[in-house]
Structure 1
Amino acid sequence: MENYSLLLSNLTAADAGLYCAQITMQTSTEFSCYTLQVFRQLRNLRITNHTRLSEIGTCEIHLTCSVENSNDSLLRWHVVGNTSIKEANLTISWDPKNSSDQKYTCIAENPVSSIAFSVSTQSLCKGVLNTKNHPDTKWIIIVVTAILMCIIITIGLFVWRKKGCLWRTGIFHFSTPQTQSPADTIRNLDYVSVSPGNTVYACVTHPNKQTNIPTPVKSSDFSTIYSTVHQSKESKPISSRTTALDSVI
């Protein structure tokens, strides 16, 4: 029996299909059919990933493997433990606290070529883990602003309370010109203290009521009357208030 061979050249993807050959011999005729497939060299293997940090602190990774002219190729993932997953998509949950770095390899292959590309969990999760360790700048600004506002309000309340005390003690007390009679002046004397040197210090406050006297008497914020009382030889108890009143009258 003679041998026959068929040689096809310059094939393209459009040449793929079913081909039948008729072989005629002296005593018989045979038909043989063949399915022609045209494969190309694989290239441009790509891995896209979507990574996020879960609420429990694990890194959730979703990987997608793709290759140019994927219609005539097989995509699979090679994972830890020599496990092969014949899918283009892969989802991983990696705990950086309890697991070491792991490598995942995407493999694309066809009868004439094979290419692979690997990624590691640590490199994929680096971005989201850094975001967790570094707080958002927006929250830092909000916290600092709130602290500054609290400090400003505290200082304002302190100054306001201090001014209130000064007003009550009469240091910042302003009044309009008023007149008063000697009797009213005596009634409004507020004695502060009597020093050992027989000097009486009296603070004159404003009268309780005004009198219509043509000549106004200018009053300041507060006035002090210094009166010297000569101590008599007789040891009689003298009231400091009576002495001051006599001196004023």
Structure 2
Amino acid sequence: MKEGPDIARIAALIGDPARANILSALMSGKALTATELANEAGVTVQTASAHLAKLEAGGLTSVRKAGRHRYVSLSGPEVAAVLEALMGLAAGQGHLRTYTGPRDVALREARVCYNHLAGARGIAMYDSMTVQGYLTEQNDTVVLSASGAKFVTAFGVDLAALERARAPVCRTCLDWSARRTHLAGGLGRAMLVQMEALGWAARESGSRVVRFTRQGSVAFEAQFAINA
């Protein structure tokens, strides 16, 4: 007897190479047009539109209209978490892209994972906040401690606004490049936004790469040092 959710349908949607490229492009957290996504997928706009219709019907993407334009984004953080986990599984099994370039190193160092910081920087931040007791892991979930609340507030995060929002304050996400945990949820997003506001880092146009300035790197390493 077949029981439980139908994972085959979702897997089939993700498994098509063009749709996989489209979904990977949307991991930047930005909403993109069909033309932009067609370029990412290496297909015509007409073909991309057909793929996008299937992804929307499957609940993996959502569409927002602005005037004559239609902007596509991932439907939520759950989709991003599944994609990041699949990237980690593929990397772990040696299924890497044939062509690599300078950005591959940069992506592993620091990148956007939907709306939060991933890569070595994201892992370092999570590890530091855990070692210092700001984050505690309880029953497969991560919780912000009282000292953590003081820390993120001092860092410039509006914690009260995060707690009023519908999204979880803290979530964990498995990093594909190192297969270790980084911080997601409302707090993960807010920490990245604040780093950008402080001038520590900026997102590279047309990529998921996050570039830290020299001063930003020094500040990051001082703020998120692990004191053994």
The answer to whether the superposition gives a TM-score over 0.5 is no
Larger-gyration structure (1/2): 1
Between Structure 1 and Structure 2, which shows a larger proportion of helix residues? 2
* Higher RCO, 1 vs 2 (CA within 8 Å, ≥6 residues apart): 2
Between Structure 1 and Structure 2, which shows a larger proportion of strand residues? 1
The TM-score bracket by the shorter chain reads under 0.3
Question: How high is the TM-score relative to the length of structure 2?
Answer: 0.18
